[in-house]
Homo-oligomer: A and B are copies of this chain.
Amino acid sequence: MDYEYLIRDLNQISSRKIIGTDKGLAKIGDGVVNLAYSVAKSIFLTNNSTNKKIVRTGLKVNRTILSNALKNANMKEFAKNRGDAHDLADTVEAIIAYVWLSNKMTLSDIIDILKNNFEGDLRIKSQELKSAIQAFTKLLIHAIKYLPEK
């Protein structure tokens, strides 16, 4: 699997803001984010179920989760100036697509970081929100080393 040519133009320019505001990258990232989150959540709930019951589930990761993660990771410089929550969420999706397409992080790597940073009872909405923000924050902090320096 090598889709790196899909970001060749971005690698030539090498700019945090250009990567973070690329609309097409955000669309691909939307898929990476939702798939990784669904698998990570399924694994976490399965591992933590009292009766070893297998849990398969998913979630459309919303803009509240992603925009807060970008802020907590202090990575707003990747986003559009004065961007709203929707813009910041798109930036997180674009960043995740970028590190995935550039083969710096596999889907497994992304799933592992998310599941290892979940805590509490994800079946409770407020705890899931808090846990998801924390997990995506950690993922972004991990991803930053694969991104341009400015």
Q: How many residues of A are counted as interface, with CB atoms below 8 angstroms from the partner's CB atoms?
A: 36
Chain B residues with CB below 8 A from A35, complex form? 28, 31-32, 34-35
Chain A 35-55: CB-based contact to B (< 8 A → 1; otherwise 0): 111110011001000000011
By the criterion CB–CB under 8 Å, are A57 and B24 in contact?
Answer: yes
CB-CB contacts below 8 Å: A1-30 with B: 1, 3, 5-9, 22-25, 27-28, 30
By the criterion CB–CB under 8 Å, are B42 and A24 in contact?
Answer: yes
Chain B residues with CB below 8 A from A39, complex form? 3, 6, 28, 31
With both beta carbons as reference points, the residue of chain B lying nearest to A24 in the complex is identified as B56
Does any Cβ of B come within 8 Å of A108's Cβ? yes
By the criterion CB–CB under 8 Å, are B1 and A42 in contact?
Answer: no
Does any Cβ of B come within 8 Å of A58's Cβ? yes
Does any Cβ of B come within 8 Å of A141's Cβ? no
By the criterion CB–CB under 8 Å, are B58 and A24 in contact?
Answer: yes
By the criterion CB–CB under 8 Å, are B1 and A43 in contact?
Answer: no
By the criterion CB–CB under 8 Å, are A54 and B8 in contact?
Answer: yes
Listed from nearest, the 5 A-B pairs whose CB atoms lie closest are A24-B56, A27-B58, A31-B35, A1-B108, A31-B34
- CB<8 Å pairs between A and B, sample of 21: A1-B108, A1-B111, A3-B43, A5-B46, A6-B46, A6-B54, A7-B54, A8-B54, A22-B56, A24-B55, A24-B57, A28-B38, A28-B56, A28-B57, A31-B36, A31-B37, A31-B58, A32-B35, A34-B35, A35-B35, A107-B107
